[in-house]
Amino acid sequence: MIRTILTYPNPELKKKSAPVAIINDSVRALAQDMVETMYDAPGVGLAAPQIGVHQRVIVIDISASDEPPGLIVAINPVIVHAEGEAYEEEGCLSVPKFAANVRRHASVVVKALNLEGVECTWRAEGLLAIAFQHEIDHLDGILFVDHLSPLKRELFQRKARKAAEEAR
């Protein structure tokens, strides 16, 4: 089922998510809904808080449309190692029509559980590393705009307020 993606400044996006205690049919259904919602948007990643569920579940697929899917479902993901620096443009399904360069680690090692409860490890660089960091930030109530300088963040907030007023 495709769910509604919450958008800035919805306060639900700023809440921290709880770890998943038991991987059951409810969690599997949540992950399936997240995958359908991400592909429909379309996006390369989605975190459960973006659809109003405060559990530590993310889905990522950075494959191009002409490539086979490379879907990752990660439950309780944790970055266990990070190094280097990347400064790339990011956007977000919860922050539509806005993109900005964000400083991130160039490579990360992420551990998480899959839908069968098996611990998996991903060594990621480039777009995948950025996607992991971006989606894990969502689990902690952090949006990519929170990484911007105060000036750029203020410009973004003004633009978001203006867009909200125009939408009324």
**Is 128 inside any structural domain?**
yes
| pLDDT for 166 | 78
Please report whether residue 159 resides in a domain.
yes
Give a yes or no: residue 144 inside a domain. yes
* Domain of 104, in residue numbers: 11-167
- What is the pLDDT at residue 87? 95
Structurally, the chain folds into a number of domains equal to 1
Could you tell me the CATH number of the domain that includes residue 138? 3.90.45.10
User: Is 6 a member of any domain?
Assistant: no
Q: Report the SS3 class of residue 121.
A: strand
* β strands within the chain, DSSP E: 45-47, 57-60, 72-83, 86-92, 95-104, 107-113, 119-125
For residue 72, what are the CA distances in angstroms to 16, 151, 166?
21, 35, 37
Give a yes or no: residue 2 inside a domain: no
In a domain, 4, yes or no: no
pLDDT score of 51 more than 90: yes
24 occurs within a structural domain: yes
Active site residues: 135
Residue 68 pLDDT level (bands cut at 50, 70, 90)? confident
Q: Per the domain annotation, does 1 fall within a domain? A: no
pTM equals 0.95
